[in-house]
Structure 1
């Protein structure tokens, strides 16, 4: 990869933009295409940064607007694979049944999404809203930062891979064209050199 980047940095031959008669039209076209690919890559990086920033802002706004919620420690009383009776709230549905006590000492139960480590007796953190209903965990600023970074990095990776693949393709096509021209010119020179 470093050799490829070094070759790319070396490829900015100013003479391709000049009126030098030794520069072939194919070389000028190759250089113009590579310049356009570089400009597209820079634009793609700017788009990746914008998408990452927008994702961060959207998640940060969602974190600030979310309803208040609090956590309770709940004990798992039934896992998804346990039992098949109708009373089993989490039976074979991908839900785990948990129980906890409210501030008044009443025992409450709820079905929550199962986790791989769920087992009867294990304690899990469950998030509740003000009405006591089970809700998703709150979105934090760290979540917003991570989502923004992931979105920006994903788009940036696609841009870099697209730029790299396009550049390699342009180089391969240009090299094949050059090799064919050189071969034809060597054959012409070889024919003309015989008496």
Structure 2
């Protein structure tokens, strides 16, 4: 890792921007491409911050808008059919009447299993309530970190690709120059 870092720091010498004739055009192009990659990495960081902030705002708005929900213990009555994803559950309402509804199947469902389901104000199955803003913060950070990771991996891969192409070109040029100076000393 240190070798890679030292090579990157070495490549940012200002010599590539000067009029020094010892600097090859390939080195100048490589510097420009790597500079463009640095700028794009900074833009990726801004995109990550924006996506993280938007995810946070969306989650926070969903927490504030959701209606009240309550949980009940429901018993699995029937298992889903092969072409269906819902399980039928039954529970008792506060007035003592029996209610049934189709809910998403869980992995451990079997007839007779008691599981917790969430109901809205109209006693219809609903998603579990979104909790406090802590979840919104965590989701925003995770979304931002995901974008940062993708940007970093893409940047690193492109830097390695540019460096490898430039190194390959330099090696071909150096080999050609050495062949020009080759003195036939084998006689």
Match of 2:62 in 1: 62
Shift of 1:75: 1.5
Q: Distance in 2 between matches of 1:190 and 1:68?
A: 85
Match of 1:50 in 2: 50
Q: Tell me the secondary structure at the aligned position of residue 53 of structure 1.
A: helix
Match of 1:85 in 2: none
Q: Tell me the secondary structure at the aligned position of residue 138 of structure 1.
A: coil
Q: Distance in 2 between matches of 1:157 and 1:182?
A: 37
Which moved further from structure 2: 38-47 or 6-15?
6-15
Cα-Cα RMSD:
2.2
Q: Distance in 1 between matches of 2:18 and 2:141?
A: 42
1:190 pairs with one of 146, 167, 182: 182
Pairs aligned (count)? 185
Alpha carbons of 1:138 and 1:4: their partners in 2 closer, same or farther (altered >3 Å)?
same
Shift of 1:149: 2.8
1:112-131 residue pairs with structure 2 within 5 A? 112-131=103-122
Q: Distance in 2 between matches of 1:188 and 1:35?
A: 33
Q: Distance in 1 between matches of 2:23 and 2:42?
A: 27
Q: Confirm whether residue 97 of structure 1 aligns to residue 88 of structure 2.
A: yes
Match of 1:159 in 2: 151
Match of 1:171 in 2: 163
